[in-house]
């Protein structure tokens, strides 16, 4: 793996997900508090402490460790916990990225690492159900994106409406004339994959603890330590990968550069014995017709057919107490099902989730060194499309932290405006 990254402008225009979508010693300990091994307790200082065990923090800790660093990973509630942005059931991985070469490459490189993680653990953390995009009309951008993916060796098919209707008769493709099918893409089992990765990290000697870290303070040019629950921990370098909580930890530096929004996710139970909505009969899909697009997953592990609207919901505090779906959200999604997946429109709601996007103004991640503290990095801004990129992002952050990589201009604090 090359350790020196070259800098390039990712995009000349903002990326919205809408446009591009579109420790401890045991695994059981990962979801909550657990004892720290005597060896780890004795270790009072670390090369690096990573705060936040979502997908970004976990892959950063894992990569730092692979580069010989002694790393402690902390999380206030446990790796991939239910309220974190990484704590959902499934996340889509696809390389259909509106011809954006940077994210197409990152997603493709990341897929190989997700596969490797799954293989190491013999764990079903990736389900190769395929990913189908359907579009209202053919455009030069679609062909550009297909050509880019083919140039990287990514299997991809372009389909007509008639071909899609023949292959997936349970979907009504009215008004959708072009399909792009990616047979080797699919669903990452989000919570499980983060917890499996942290298990990997811990097995290789990494430290993992449940600890809520206070907002850091220092009047010097570097951060001397971090505090939490009356305890102070020290390292040479600190990475804060705190997802939607970053604005609270760094109100002046991050503040409204990241705006969390409330997102509702629905799972519907197909009719008894009806396997048309499970793989291999149904891929993950994105209906790329409307500005606020719908997307979903087949019925995986009998959880139900998943569907959500990618439009940004209202602003949301990740510590908000209410995570119930709204009646309006449910009615809206049923109306969409009636049009596109009619056999599911009246089926029972089997489960639901309320999660939050951590949106940046330009759709790119926010990854930068703290402007005052030379040994502190801020990592976040997944903006509803970050999960898949975890492996590539972890490697990128590691290169920055170890001084072997260059910053992508579009990821920097300077490139991210404060939301209005």
Ligand X SMILES: Cc1cc2nc3c(=O)[nH]c(=O)nc-3n(C[C@H](O)[C@H](O)[C@H](O)COP(=O)(O)OP(=O)(O)OC[C@H]3O[C@@H](n4cnc5c(N)ncnc54)[C@H](O)[C@@H]3O)c2cc1C
Residues that bind ligand X (CB under 6 A): 51-57, 74-77, 81, 84-86, 88, 91-92, 212-213, 241-245, 249, 263, 265, 308, 355-357, 380, 382, 384-388
Q: How far is the CB of 112 from ligand X (least distance, A)?
A: 16
Among residues 244, 134, 118, 260, the alpha carbon closest in space to that of 187 is found at 118
Token readout for 85 is 């942005």
Closest by CA to 55, choosing from 93, 21, 19, 17, is 93
Bond into 280 cis (ω within 30): yes
For residue 73, give the nearest of 54, 52, 47 by alpha carbon: 52
Least distance (Å) between residue 162 CB and ligand X: 28
CB of 325 to ligand X, least distance (A): 12
At closest approach, how far in Å is the CB of 126 from ligand X? 12
Minimum CB–partner distance for residue 77 and ligand X (Å): 5
Q: Please, what's the b/e burial string for 362-399 (b: 16 or more CB within 10 A of its CB; e: otherwise)?
A: bbbbbbbbbeebebbbbbbbbbbbbbbbbbbbbbbbbb
Q: How far is CA 376 from the centre of its chain?
A: 22
List the one residue out of 44, 82, 67 whose CA is nearest residue 356: 82
Yes or no: say if 198 and 53 are a contact pair by the CB < 8 Å rule: yes
In angstroms, what is the minimal distance from the CB of 103 to ligand X?
Answer: 10
Among residues 85 and 95, whose Cβ is nearest to ligand X?
85
Q: Does residue 121 contact residue 199 with C-beta atoms inside 8 Å?
A: yes
- The answer to whether residues 152 and 304 touch, using CB atoms and an 8 Å cutoff, is no
Minimum CB–partner distance for residue 291 and ligand X (Å): 17
| Closest to ligand X by CB, 266 or 273 | 266
Q: Give the nearer residue to ligand X in terms of CB position, either 68 or 314.
A: 314
Going by C-alpha positions, the residue among 32, 319, 41 that lies closest to residue 198 is 32
Q: CB-wise, 61 or 156, nearer to ligand X?
A: 61
CB closer to ligand X out of 75 and 399? 75
CA–CA separation, 345 and 329 (whole Å): 14
By beta-carbon proximity to ligand X, the closer residue of 75 and 408 is 75
CB nearer to ligand X: give 129 or 242. Answer: 242
Q: What does the alpha-carbon distance between residue 401 and residue 240 come to, in Å, rounded to a whole number?
A: 12
Nearest of 350, 320, 377, 349 to residue 61 by alpha carbon: 377
Relative orientation angle of helices 390-401 and 55-66, to the nearest 10 degrees: 50
Instruction: Indicate the residue among 88 and 391 with the shorter CB distance to ligand X.
Output: 88
DSSP-assigned beta bridge partners for residue 318: none
In the complex, the smallest distance separating the C-beta of residue 258 from ligand X, rounded to whole angstroms, is 9
Beta carbon nearer to ligand X, 243 or 270: 243
Residues facing residue 92 across a β-bridge: 187
**What is the closest distance, in whole angstroms, from the C-beta atom of residue 21 to ligand X in the complex?**
8
């Amino acid at each position: 793996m090359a350790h020196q990254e070259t800098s390039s402008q990712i995009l000349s225009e903002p990326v919205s997900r809408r446009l591009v979508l579109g420790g401890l010693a045991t695994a059981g300990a990962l979801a909550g508090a657990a004892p720290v091994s005597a060896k780890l307790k004795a270790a009072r200082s670390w090369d690096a402490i990573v705060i936040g065990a979502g997908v970004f923090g976990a892959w950063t800790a894992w990569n730092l460790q692979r580069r010989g660093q002694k790393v402690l990973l902390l999380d206030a509630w446990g790796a991939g916990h239910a309220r974190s942005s990484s704590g959902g059931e499934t996340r889509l991985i696809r390389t259909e990225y509106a011809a954006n070469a940077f994210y197409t490459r990152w997603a493709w490189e990341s897929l190989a690492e997700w596969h490797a993680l799954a293989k190491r653990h013999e764990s079903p953390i990736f389900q190769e159900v395929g990913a189908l995009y359907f579009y209202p009309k053919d455009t030069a951008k679609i062909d550009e994106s297909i050509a880019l993916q083919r140039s990287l060796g990514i299997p991809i098919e372009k389909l007509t409406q008639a071909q899609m209707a023949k292959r997936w008769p349970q979907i009504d493709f009215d008004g959708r004339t072009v399909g792009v099918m990616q047979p080797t893409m699919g669903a990452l089992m989000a919570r499980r994959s983060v917890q499996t990765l942290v298990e990997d990290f811990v097995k290789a000697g990494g430290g993992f603890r449940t600890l809520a870290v206070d907002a850091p303070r220092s009047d010097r040019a570097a951060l001397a330590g971090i505090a939490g629950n009356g305890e102070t921990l020290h390292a040479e370098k600190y990475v804060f990968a705190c997802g939607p909580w970053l604005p609270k930890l760094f109100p002046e530096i991050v503040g409204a550069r990241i705006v969390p929004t409330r997102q509702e996710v629905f799972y519907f139970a197909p009719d008894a014995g009806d396997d048309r909505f499970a793989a291999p009969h149904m891929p993950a899909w994105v209906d790329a017709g409307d500005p606020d697009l719908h997307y979903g997953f087949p019925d995986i592990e009998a959880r139900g057919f998943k569907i959500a609207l990618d439009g940004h919901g209202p602003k949301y505090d990740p510590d908000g107490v209410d995570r119930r779906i709204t009646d309006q959200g449910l009615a809206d999604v049923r109306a969409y099902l009636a049009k596109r997946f009619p056999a599911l429109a009246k089926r029972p709601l089997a489960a639901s989730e309320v999660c939050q996007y951590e949106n940046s103004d330009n759709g790119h991640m926010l990854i930068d060194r703290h402007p005052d503290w030379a040994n502190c990095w801020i990592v976040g801004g997944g903006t509803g499309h970050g999960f898949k990129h975890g492996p590539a992002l972890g490697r990128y952050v590691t290169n920055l932290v170890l001084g072997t990589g260059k910053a992508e201009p579009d990821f920097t604090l300077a490139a991210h405006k404060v939301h209005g």
